[in-house]
Structure 1
Amino acid sequence: MPKRASLILLLLFIVLQPLLSWSQVLPLPSGKYGVGHRRFEWTDTSRREILAAANSMRKVVADVWYPAGVNGGTTVPYLDTLAFSRAFGNDGLQSLLGVQGAAVIRSGSVQTHAYENAAFATGLRSAPVIFFSHGMGMITQVYTSQIEDLVSHGYIVAALTHAYDAWLVSFSNGGYIPFERAQRAAAGNTETEHIAYENKRIEWWAADIRFALDQLTAINGEKSKEIPFAGYMDLSKVGAMGHSAGGRAAARACQLDTRIKSCADQDGVAMMQPFYPDGHGVGMKQPFLLFERDRNRTPGEEDAASLGMTLQGLIALVDSLRSKKAAALASTGGSFHVLLHFDSSSHMSFSDLPLLQAKSSVEEALAYRVLQVTCRYTREFFDKTLRGIAAPLYDGKRRLDYIDLVQEYPKARSIP
């Protein structure tokens, strides 16, 4: 449960609310670097798009955020409101962000801390690269706070938009691709059918990540003066992360590609599993973080009744799934399981949405603090596993509020 210090923090935010609204100004990145941005639209000619009505190849959009020098120039807009209007009409933003979130965005008061094509940070010789995947039906932009915070600490983040599975992907020529519904509905509505369909999509997302890594590798070799971060990417230190289905996609990319050295899954599980071990019971060779929001309680009679099961049967099922989760986490190159306090958070607490949708000062304060905590635990995991630097939150020296568990699984013996 939150400690007394957290309650004091909440009260301070309430007092300061007339001066500072976190739903209108995204949290300042906590690192020392500025944030630059460059957008890419790529076509993977090796994959034919199976969800497109027309005969076309797979399109991958990447927003690359990188450490920058002195801030200045054109500020990166939070999101493309015109694209939402073209695709969905006047209710375009509301369908994704809700009434409150859409109103805040329309006010024009939500600003990023990033600048288009800013010069790369002076004095920084190279930076690790982290690929980010959004949740199913989400967009990359609602994770801006988390991305900017990582970049401010010296990481390059390539945030991918997965076409047909994002709520909307827009292109520089004015075209757009909305969330695909028809084939998703045709796949079935049961949980088993839903998971089976999502698993197929996750394979495509993992392929997007690997393709994007190929593209950035080529850019890094060219060292083009037109691309500020070209030549500065340390491709010996590559990570992958994502939220919800994007977390599972990041895990899958790690299983498939050893160029990726570390992986983080934020609240992305299916039947409690963040990924599926291979036929030998091995998860992945890389370090792994499962950072989730889990009530972690014993089911009751109401839970069983809602599922049409006996309580004894449901408890046995949950115990089996938890055992499988523990076995998966123990089958990696060393992993951590972090639990975010259930009652103080939501599934979207890893994004900006709770801030944008807050209806009171108390909601804003809580959303800000929980987001700050998720940013810190995620960054320290990559600090530890990609950079080999101090990570007190994982070394047992400190635990922040709103975190119920930090459990370490040593490297599996069967992994060379």
Structure 2
Amino acid sequence: MWHRVPRPEDGRVTEIITGLYMSPLEFLALVGAVALVVARWLPPSARPRVTIAAVAVLVLSVIVLSVVGIRWQMLPVLAGAAVALPFALSPLLRRRTGRPAWRARWWLALPGSLACVGLIATGPVAAWAFPVPAFPELSGNFSVGTRVVQWTDPHRPETFTTDPHDRRTVVVQLWYPARKSPAGTQRAQYLGRTEHEARTVADALADYVGLPGFLVDGLPRARTHSVFNASVAGGGGRFPVVLFSPGSGGTRTQNTAWAEELASHGYVVAALDHPYDSAAVVLTDGRTIHTKTVSTGDRDKDDKLAAAWTAVRAADLSFVLTQLDRLGRGEITDPLTGHLDTSRVAVTGHSMGGAAALQAARQDHRFDAVIDLDGYPHGPTSPSLDQPVLALTQAITPGTDPRYIPRLVKTLKSSTATSYRLTIPGAAHLTFMDGPLYLPPVPSMVGSLGRTESPHVVAATTLAFLDTTLRHKPGDLADVLSAYGDLSVYPPGNSR
């Protein structure tokens, strides 16, 4: 199967083979390497032609790949071809010099050929396991624009530093409905405003989870569907706002596929970087702030730390809503001025970000709805929530923290609004972010829904909830949600 994605090197559209997650050039290099090995086993009359063609294809592909950038996944392919090359060329060279051609006995050549094929096959397997993410097509009526802003709260000291003059700063990426851009317009880089920022963030994320950085070098190569600083969609209407807090160590871009899908349906999504918590935050002055949140291994101590970090995130969310309200009213000059409806706002988050969303809603009644994407409810459980909540959870296993579901249920039952808990079969913790698009499809890691279905399920369920709570779209929300998993509904006052 072929799939069109923006080419990272120059913004043009090229084709990739989605089954192998390889570009045409990489695929040609793969074919050339395999043909080089197979030529040994062809009839004598075909060997010279196949060998020459294989070498030509391989050399040309490698030259072009060297210009645009060779991914590490291609190294075993090239290594296998390099081992096979002398054995493939030797008979041709000996024949040209008049010497008799020499070929190893089949029982000697077979193990070497199999070893080369095995080495070459490692390439497409690695490309499939760690691909350049291909973002799912958007289903909404709007094109999507994106922009990044940085705001400092003059009233809040930065608690992660000892400088008494340091004030809390957050970086926010906005995805919004936009006018359609001209054909050929370069799409936004994934993970950052620039390639340097994207590589900095990718390396930090890999380091945070203990992976070698080269394994995720496909992330900075990816392009999304949005366009930086695209013109806001016209029509005179104002768009509901959705704030998002990432998981522990996560970054503002970790749910890009989800944010773009919501924006294509007429929402403005504001995702936060939380400095000293997110793996890496690149500020406008060029400084990079790395995470300082480290678990101790002691459950009681870690619970207290998580509650404190959650409180900082909740304050960040409220501060950003204040800034967005000012922006919408024109107190902050921005292209989105006059396009934000801050009377219809949802607060959302993944993992610890979900906990922060719950705390922010408790403290700030400007938030009208809450979405918790598999987040353990850290921090106080009072006062009761007054907003409807949608909690999406992974499939519950014996390894799930036994405190998680009881604490989450207690939170939902005490709400004064109807709330929902949807457990999605086949989902894992990383199902609820972009992870399935670029990590190996290991069920314990990213779930078993697959790279296409994972983002679809998360977007479809959250869109149904947002349309009902913020846009008051008629219909049976419980019926829609129950189609995706095991649904529990908690009506107001059900714990009384």
TM over 0.5: yes
Structure 2: how far apart are the matches of 1:25 and 1:196? 39
Tell me: CA distance 1:101–1:372, structure 2 relative to 1, closer, same or farther (3 Å): farther
Report the equivalent of 1:103. Answer: 217
Deviation at 1:227, TM superposition (A): 2.3
The answer on 1:259 being equivalent to 2:366 is yes
Tell me, yes or no, if the aligned pair for 2:348 and 2:373 is still in contact at 8 Å. Answer: yes
2:479 alignment partner, SS class: coil
For 1:353, which of 432, 435, 438 is the aligned residue?
Answer: 435
Report the equivalent of 1:151. Answer: 263
Q: Which string of whole-angstrom CA distances, capped at 9 and with x for unpartnered residues, describes residues 301-322 of structure 1?
A: xx7xxx9xxxxxxxxx95x875
Structure 2: how far apart are the matches of 1:265 and 1:86? 28
Structure 2: how far apart are the matches of 1:87 and 1:112? 16
What one-letter code is carried by the residue in structure 1 that aligns with 2:478? Answer: D
The answer on 1:336 being equivalent to 2:446 is no
The answer on 1:175 being equivalent to 2:287 is yes
Deviation at 1:228, TM superposition (A): 2.3
What one-letter code is carried by the residue in structure 1 that aligns with 2:479? Answer: G
Q: Which string of whole-angstrom CA distances, capped at 9 and with x for unpartnered residues, describes residues 175-210 of structure 1?
A: 1100115xx45xx43111111101011111111111
The answer on 1:284 being equivalent to 2:385 is yes
Structure 2: how far apart are the matches of 1:84 and 1:120? 25
Tell me, yes or no, if the aligned pair for 2:303 and 2:378 is still in contact at 8 Å. Answer: no
Report the equivalent of 1:200. Answer: 308
2:254 alignment partner, SS class: helix
Report the equivalent of 2:19. Answer: 17
Trace 1:208-227 onto structure 2 (pairs within 5 A): 208-222=316-330, 227=334
Identity %: 27
Trace 1:12-411 onto structure 2 (pairs within 5 A): 17=19, 23-55=132-164, 56-72=166-182, 73-80=185-192, 81-83=195-197, 91-92=203-204, 94-95=206-207, 98=211, 102-106=216-220, 108=221, 110-123=222-235, 125-181=237-293, 184=294, 188-222=296-330, 227-269=334-376, 273=377, 276-278=380-382, 282-295=383-396, 318=402, 322-332=405-415, 333-341=417-425, 344-358=426-440, 366-390=450-474, 394-396=477-479, 399-400=482-483, 403-411=484-492
Instruction: Determine which structure has more spread, i.e. the larger CA radius of gyration.
Output: 2
Tell me: CA distance 1:101–1:286, structure 2 relative to 1, closer, same or farther (3 Å): farther
Structure 1: how far apart are the matches of 2:228 and 2:18? 31
Tell me: CA distance 1:195–1:93, structure 2 relative to 1, closer, same or farther (3 Å): closer
Tell me: CA distance 1:146–1:193, structure 2 relative to 1, closer, same or farther (3 Å): same
Tell me: CA distance 1:223–1:59, structure 2 relative to 1, closer, same or farther (3 Å): closer
Report the equivalent of 2:30. Answer: none
Deviation at 1:413, TM superposition (A): 7.2
- Bigger relative contact order (CA 8 A; separation at least 6): 1
In the TM superposition, structure 1's runs of 4+ consecutive aligned residues that sit over 3 Å from their partners are 18-24, 83-88, 91-94, 96-101, 273-276, 320-325, 362-365, 397-400
What one-letter code is carried by the residue in structure 2 that aligns with 1:38? Answer: R
What one-letter code is carried by the residue in structure 1 that aligns with 2:434? Answer: D
What one-letter code is carried by the residue in structure 1 that aligns with 2:410? Answer: A
Tell me: CA distance 1:169–1:391, structure 2 relative to 1, closer, same or farther (3 Å): farther
Superposed CA RMSD: 3.1
Structure 2: how far apart are the matches of 1:324 and 1:211? 27
What one-letter code is carried by the residue in structure 1 that aligns with 2:431? Answer: S
Q: How many residues align?
A: 362
Deviation at 1:213, TM superposition (A): 0.9
